[in-house]
């Protein structure tokens, strides 16, 4: 058996809870039916937000939710989604094959309410392509202004006495494609304008400091194109370095685990080769994060020092993975648009991706799974009055224990289909063990650099890796109490069932 030592006193950075973020968009049935059913619906709801999804999402304690897109943000006008529901305009949603009327019943107030009910920070993505800086500023003022301006009064008239305090603002979305087919140079020029147009909400009562520190998040590259993503990041920072530069707080890269070899193959139908290709595909994100983090550091370091007394400091810019997840070819033809069933294969890659984010916690600070409900790598699937929690939901729930923990160094060899991650915080040491082999059980020995004892464990597994949760069998795959490892003299022997995910809890003696 392979032996891996966990070095308890060798810390590797703090794991931001915002690595477990979510993304929702007006795409397919993500919003309508998935999150919003309306107050008159027979489906239990909180003022139109479906209760089963909200309650289950709240249990996950989502740290951040990103909305309205995604591609939808490129044509979304926020004023369509405020005011009395029966007075909101009906528009048409052409987003990514949705092709449906849009009632605009889910808007800014409804999104903020979702965030309040679940405890998430809101991340709003502005419309950069079919809008302008004035519309952006007005949305920001509507959301965040405390003073009695006309927009602040309008927000109050619409039911929100206090400002929303939205800190996270995305400036454009995938501007290299549907967001405008821009070049790094043209986007940098637009970014300068939009980033400079931010209102500051300075409060004299607050010592001349803004009560809401708004963060500017730039649209990063297409993470799935190795050459383009390198050149995009290099050129963006080079352009930003010309003359006076605007503030920059985050850089939003998107990475999908494409499974497009056979577009006719259903996401629940695969052999071992298909399985291995998808597992291998998600592992590429590790390289992408390290590459892009280095390019951001180099880009910032290369920025010239400014002249004069009023110098703009070099930015403290975080790498963000604003969209990630499996994208199977069948999703293109599924209805509603991009609806995708999630099997144990998706659970395994979700766990592997989260562990990649954990291991790179010093380089990436926020990430959002795409998407939370009914689209691609979802945690929820809704069918009428039924809400199904996919195996991905269980992965997020099991992995909550790592939030704000310190990553631990692991030393030793594992098989090429066995993966380990460990972190520590006050409650103890938490160890993730993933067997990404579709057919074979594995065994591993875990040693610790200090004396520890096993407390408890959870496991997610299924007899058949093709299994998924359905309306007929909503709990076919659910996390359950794991098997205790075999204590040997100075280490622990663990059996890893095929296609399984385990989280074990240890404490120092």
Q: What is the pLDDT of residues 351-362, one digit of tens each?
A: 999 999 999 999
Query: What pLDDT is attached to residue 136?
Result: 98
Would you state the pLDDT for residue 306? Answer: 86
Residues 340 and 468 in one domain: no
Q: Would you give the DSSP letter of residue 95?
A: G
Enumerate the β-bridge partners of residue 500: 435
Backbone angles phi, psi at 402, to 5 degrees: -85, -10
Tell me, yes or no, whether 83 lies in a domain.
Answer: yes
Catalytic one of 25, 174, 239, 461: 174
Reported as a single tens digit per residue, the pLDDT across 121-131 is: 999 999 999 99
User: What is the C-alpha separation between 358 and 15, in angstroms, rounded?
Assistant: 6
Q: What angle, rounded to 10 degrees, do the helices at 108-118 and 51-60 form?
A: 50
Examine the domain organization and report whether 271 and 306 are in the same domain: yes
DSSP three-state, residue 239: helix
Q: Does residue 3 form part of some domain? A: no
What's the pLDDT at 311? 82
Same structural domain, 437 and 383: no
Total number of domains constituting the chain? 2
Residues 288/440/275/264 CA torsion (nearest 10 deg) = -170
Q: Please provide residue 50's backbone torsions phi and psi, each rounded to the nearest 5 degrees.
A: -65, 130
- For this structure, is 174 an active site residue? yes
Q: What is the pLDDT of residue 204?
A: 80
> The CATH number of the domain where 485 resides is what?
2.60.40.1180
DSSP-derived letter for residue 181 is: -
3-state secondary structure of 116: helix
Whether residue 48 lies inside any domain: the answer is: yes
The neighbour count for residue 101, using CB atoms within 10 Å, is 10
Q: What angle, rounded to 10 degrees, do the helices at 344-359 and 272-301 form?
A: 20
b (16+ CB within 10 A) / e for 6-23: bbbeeebebbbbbbbbbb
Residue 26 CA to its chain's centroid (Å): 16
Sorted by sequence, the CB contacts under 8 Å of residue 110 that are 6+ apart come out as: 36, 48, 49, 81
The CATH number for 127's domain is: 3.20.20.80
Residue 10, domain member (yes or no)? no
pLDDT of amino acid 439? 97
Which of 74, 197, 79 has its CA nearest to residue 143? 79
Q: Kindly report the average pLDDT of the chain as a whole number.
A: 96
Query: 495 and 399 in one domain?
Result: no
Q: Answer yes or no: do 352 and 370 share one domain.
A: yes
Q: Specify whether 162 is located in the same domain as 259.
A: yes
319 shares a domain with 241: yes
For the chain, which ranges sit under pLDDT 70?
Answer: none
Residues 308, 274 share a domain: yes
Q: Write out the H or E segment, with its range, that includes residue 354.
A: helix 344-359
Question: Looking at the domain assignment, is residue 4 inside a domain?
Answer: no
Per-residue b or e along 241-274, where b marks 16 or more CB atoms closer than 10 Å to that residue's CB? eeeebbebbbbbbbbbbebeeeeebebbebeeeb
Query: Would you say residue 6 lies in a domain?
Result: no
* Co-location of 355 and 439 in the same domain: no
In a domain, 11, yes or no: no
CB 408 within 8 A of CB 493: no
Instruction: Measure the CA–CA gap between 422 and 244, rounded to whole angstroms.
Output: 43
**Coil, strand or helix: which one is 236?**
helix
Closest by Cα among 272, 303, 141, 300 to 210? 141
For residues 107 and 67, what is the distance between their CA atoms, to the nearest angstrom? 10
* CA dist., res. 195 & res. 191, Å (int): 6
Contact between 359 and 283 under an 8 Å Cβ cutoff? The reply is no
**Distance between CA atoms of 281 and 255, rounded to whole angstroms?**
11
Residue 334 and residue 454 in one domain: no
Q: What is the pTM of this model?
A: 0.97
427 is catalytic: no
* Whether residue 504 sits in one domain with residue 390: no
- Domain span at 338: 17-403
Q: Where among 403, 420, 444 does a domain terminate?
A: 403
Establish if 262 belongs to a structural domain.
yes
Q: Are residues 219 and 114 in the same domain?
A: yes
**Percent helix / strand / coil, the chain, rounded to 5:** 30, 30, 40
Which of 18, 190, 267, 323 is catalytic? The answer is 323
Q: What is the DSSP letter of 44?
A: -
Asked which of 357, 385, 403 is the last residue of a domain, the reply is 403
Q: Which of 360, 375, 403 is at the close of a domain?
A: 403
- CA dist., res. 492 & res. 500, Å (int): 18
3 state SS of 125: strand
């Amino acid at each position: 058996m392979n032996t891996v030592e966990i070095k308890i006193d060798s810390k590797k950075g703090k794991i931001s809870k915002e690595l477990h973020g979510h993304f929702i968009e007006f795409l397919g049935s993500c919003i309508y039916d998935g999150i919003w059913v309306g107050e008159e619906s027979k489906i239990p709801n909180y003022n139109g937000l479906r209760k089963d999804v909200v309650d289950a999402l709240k249990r996950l304690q989502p740290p951040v939710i990103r909305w309205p897109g995604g591609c939808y943000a490129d044509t979304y006008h926020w004023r369509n989604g405020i005011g009395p529901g029966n007075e909101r305009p009906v528009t048409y949603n052409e987003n990514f094959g949705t092709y449906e009327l849009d009632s605009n019943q889910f808007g800014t107030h409804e999104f903020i309410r979702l965030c309040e009910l679940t405890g998430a920070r809101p991340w709003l993505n502005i419309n950069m392509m079919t809008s302008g800086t004035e519309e952006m500023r007005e949305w920001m003022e509507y959301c965040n202004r405390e003073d009695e301006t006309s927009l602040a009064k309008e927000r109050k008239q619409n039911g929100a006495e206090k400002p929303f305090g939205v800190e996270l603002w995305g400036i454009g979305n995938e501007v290299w494609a549907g967001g405008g087919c821009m070049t790094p140079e043209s986007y940098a020029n637009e970014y300068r304008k939009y980033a400079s147009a931010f209102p500051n909400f300075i409060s004299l009562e607050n010592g001349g400091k803004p009560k809401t520190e708004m963060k500017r998040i730039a649209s990063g590259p297409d993470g799935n194109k190795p050459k383009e993503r390198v050149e995009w990041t290099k050129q963006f920072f080079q352009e930003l370095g010309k003359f006076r530069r605007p503030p920059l707080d985050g850089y939003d890269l998107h990475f999908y685990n494409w499974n497009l070899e056979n577009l006719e193959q259903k996401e629940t139908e695969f052999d071992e080769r298909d399985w291995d290709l998808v597992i291998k595909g998600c592992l590429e994100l590790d390289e992408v994060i390290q590459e892009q983090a280095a390019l951001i550091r180099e880009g910032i370091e290369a920025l010239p020092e400014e002249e004069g007394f009023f110098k703009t400091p070099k930015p403290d810019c975080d790498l963000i993975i604003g969209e990630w997840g499996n994208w199977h070819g069948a999703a293109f033809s599924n209805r509603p648009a991009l609806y995708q069933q999630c099997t144990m294969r998706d659970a395994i890659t979700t766990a592997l991706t989260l562990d990649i984010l954990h291991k790179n916690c010093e380089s990436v600070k926020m990430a959002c799974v795409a998407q939370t409900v009914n689209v691609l790598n979802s945690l929820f699937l809704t069918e009428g009055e039924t809400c199904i929690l996919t195996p991905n939901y269980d992965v997020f729930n099991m992995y909550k224990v790592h939030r704000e923990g310190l990553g631990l160094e692991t030393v030793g060899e594992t098989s090429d289909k066995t993966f380990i991650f460990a972190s520590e915080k006050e409650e103890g040491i938490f160890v993730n063990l993933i067997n990404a082999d579709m057919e074979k059980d594995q065994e591993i020995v875990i040693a610790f650099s200090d004396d520890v004892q096993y407390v408890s464990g959870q496991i997610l597994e299924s007899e058949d890796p093709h299994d998924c949760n359905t309306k007929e069998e909503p709990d076919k795959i659910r996390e359950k109490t794991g098997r205790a490892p075999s204590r040997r003299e100075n280490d622990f022997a663990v059996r890893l069932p095929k296609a399984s995910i385990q989280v074990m809890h240890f404490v120092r003696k």
